[in-house]
Amino acid sequence: MRKKTNRRKFIEKSLASIAGVSAVSSCVNAPEDKVKESININFNKNYKWKMVTTWSPNMPVLGEGCNMFSEWVRKMSGGRLEIKVYGGGELIPSLESFDAVSNGAIEMGSGASYYWAGKIPSGQFFSSVPFGMNSKQMNSWIISGGGYKLYREIYEPFNLIPFVGGNTSMQMGGWFNKEINSFDDLKGLKMRIPGFGGKVLSKAGGTAVTVAGGEIYTNLERGVIDATEWIGPYHDYLMGFYQVAKYYYYPGWHEPGGVLEMIVNKDKFSELPSDLQEIIKKGIESLNIWMQCEFDSKNSEYLNKLLEEEGVQLKKFPKDVLDAFKLKTHEVIEEMVESDPKSKKIFDAYEKFRVSFKDWSTVSDKIYYEL
């Protein structure tokens, strides 16, 4: 009898914890969802929204995912919410999307937080930091580790709600026409590498060059640049870099898990009935998962293609080069947090999570990959 009672207690407890898990997963995008909100639905009103993106029209995975999101929303809302997706430059120039969504001229946008580094420097900690957290760790921090609260806080003055809307997963180190055997080989290296990574390369003696996406191939071919990074094997293959560069380096130390971002105008979002708001949130969550799966699946397929069909020479950065990049990364971050208190606050939270997650990664993923 006693055994039976214990068993029943165990079952009740298990069911409660299962319910707990589903309650957590149903609010992964916004901690405030833990509070029961009132439901307001108006089946007679239809909405037509616009989404501007920083991606070229229909760009594989990135633009493609936004198109899929729009279709999911249309279906889930029974046609009450239609979102027309525009590629970068189709409606407005890519980098103007932040202002257009902020002032409500456009309802939502897809990009990455580091594009707005000039407006919100601290936002860069929500994209990708060299030697920082990978895609799994970033999702854990933002969605479950308190990151969302900070992320929302820094976008609040701009009347924007930011969402994690995808991840490129671990990127590659890039394509080089000069072999990198030691730290000295970085001296004078002209490489197309934007953002954080570019600052680190410049500190390490190289020259970070800005080149528009469409011109990278020709610049590499003509020797205007010695190297370029892009994304991962799938997109790099589509860009044809293997035709004009000798070596393909790893790891992608500068972008270990590039978070992609969806921004929504706060007023426009508030105007929506509660079911459509939820559809947007759940649609973005699905997009986040789909993009990572698609990147990883395609990258593994295309890495093999590059190695087996195109004979690409895969090379690992030497240890002293990675050590130097790491050291310079610390300097870049130090300068950044010294000049911006918000960046310091966010970086402190980021680091705290990263360090505590490291122990878990060591006994889970790391050891498993070494088996």
Residues engaged in binding Ca ion (CB under 5 A)? 171, 255
Closest separation in Å from C-beta 213 to Ca ion: 11
* Cβ proximity to Ca ion, 229 vs 285, nearer residue: 229
Reading the block at residue 276, the tokens are 């459509």
Dihedral pair phi/psi, residue 236, rounded to 5°: -65, -40
- Measured from the CB atom, is 148 or 249 closer to Ca ion? 249
φ/ψ of 266, rounded to 5, equals -65, -45
Report which secondary-structure segment, H or E, holds 315.
strand 313-316
Name the minimum Å distance from CB 97 to Ca ion.
19
| Min separation Cβ 229 and Ca ion, Å | 5
Q: Which is nearer to Ca ion, 215 or 267 (CB)?
A: 215
Burial of 200 (0-12, 13-18, 19+ CB in 10 A): buried
- Least separation in angstroms between residue 276's CB and Ca ion is 34
Q: Which is nearer to Ca ion, 53 or 171 (CB)?
A: 171
What secondary structure letter does DSSP report for 109? E
Smallest distance from Ca ion to CB 128, Å: 8
If the CB atoms of residues 102 and 171 are measured against Ca ion, the closer one turns out to be 171
How many whole angstroms separate alpha carbon 18 and alpha carbon 115? 39
Q: How many other CB atoms are there within 10 angstroms of residue 291's CB atom?
A: 25
Q: In the complex, what is the shortest distance from the CB of residue 298 to Ca ion, in angstroms, rounded to a whole number?
A: 15
Side-chain half-sphere CA neighbours of 317 within 13 A: 23
Question: Rounded CA gap, 111 and 70, in Å?
Answer: 15
Rounded least distance, CB 326 to Ca ion, Å: 18
**Smallest gap, in angstroms, from Cβ of residue 131 to Ca ion?**
15
Question: Under 8 Å CB-to-CB from 98, ≥6 apart: which residues?
Answer: 109, 111, 115, 116, 119, 158, 160, 263
Number of Cβ within 10 Å of residue 32's Cβ equals 11
Cβ proximity to Ca ion, 145 vs 174, nearer residue: 174
Angle, alpha carbons 351-352-357 (nearest 5°): 95
Least distance to Ca ion from the beta carbon of 231, Å? 5
Considering beta carbons, is residue 219 or 277 the nearer one to Ca ion? Answer: 219
Cα–Cα distance measured from residue 78 to residue 67, given in angstroms and rounded to the nearest whole number: 17
* Separation between Cα atoms, residue 217 and residue 240, nearest integer Å: 7
Indicate the residue among 120 and 216 with the shorter CB distance to Ca ion: 216
Q: For Ca ion, give the closer residue by CB, 29 or 171.
A: 171
Cα separation of 33 and 151, whole Å?
Answer: 16
Tell me the C-alpha distance between 113 and 108, whole Å: 14
